[in-house]
């Protein structure tokens, strides 16, 4: 008996759910990566602003100094705004990872049930095959015994020596 249709359907559903959770996890990871990239860009913007302030202090260029200070302040506000979003995104990634792993476990449990069912079927098929061989061999031995009994029960007729006028005695040469 093949695996039940309901188990096959359940496995397919679990595979689809696992795939959905995997895609959700990848999406959350991409969002986190995007935020981390923005954080790195804001950090670089802050460094450039400070470098502009340092360079303007040497050259005495007041507009560059003000631009550098403003660039540094803007990047710090951006960093401040990104930090909680990154923390939130990390939590989402962790939740999605847990959901994905739960679905993977559920799918593997169904696969295990199917494998056990197939294993039981194989054992049962082997048992039936052995029973068939035993029955065939037992029938063969029984048949051989019947044939032997029939042969033993037949009357044995003495050989006919007079067939075609020959005698069983050897003729002299």
**pLDDT (0 to 100) of residue 137:** 76
pTM attached to this predicted model: 0.64
Quick: pLDDT tens for 89-128.
999 999 999 999 999 999 999 999 999 988 888 899 989 9
Calpha distance 77→59 (Å, rounded): 27
Calpha distance 46→66 (Å, rounded): 13
């Amino acid at each position: 008996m093949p695996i039940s249709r309901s188990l096959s359907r359940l496995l397919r559903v679990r595979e689809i759910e696992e795939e959905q959770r995997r895609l959700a996890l990848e999406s959350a990871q991409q969002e986190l990566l995007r935020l981390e990239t923005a954080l790195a860009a804001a950090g670089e913007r802050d460094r450039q602003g400070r470098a502009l302030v340092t360079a303007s202090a040497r050259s005495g260029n007041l507009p560059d100094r003000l631009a550098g200070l403003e660039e540094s302040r803007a990047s710090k506000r951006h960093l401040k705004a990104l930090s909680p979003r990154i923390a939130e995104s990390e939590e989402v990634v962790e939740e999605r990872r847990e959901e994905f792993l739960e679905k993977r476990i559920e799918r593997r449990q169904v696969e295990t049930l199917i494998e056990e069912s197939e294993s039981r079927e194989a054992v049962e098929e082997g048992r039936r095959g052995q029973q068939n061989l035993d029955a065939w061999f037992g029938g063969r031995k029984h048949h051989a015994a019947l044939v032997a009994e029939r042969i033993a029960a037949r009357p044995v007729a003495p050989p006919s020596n007079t067939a075609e006028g020959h005698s069983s005695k050897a003729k002299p040469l």
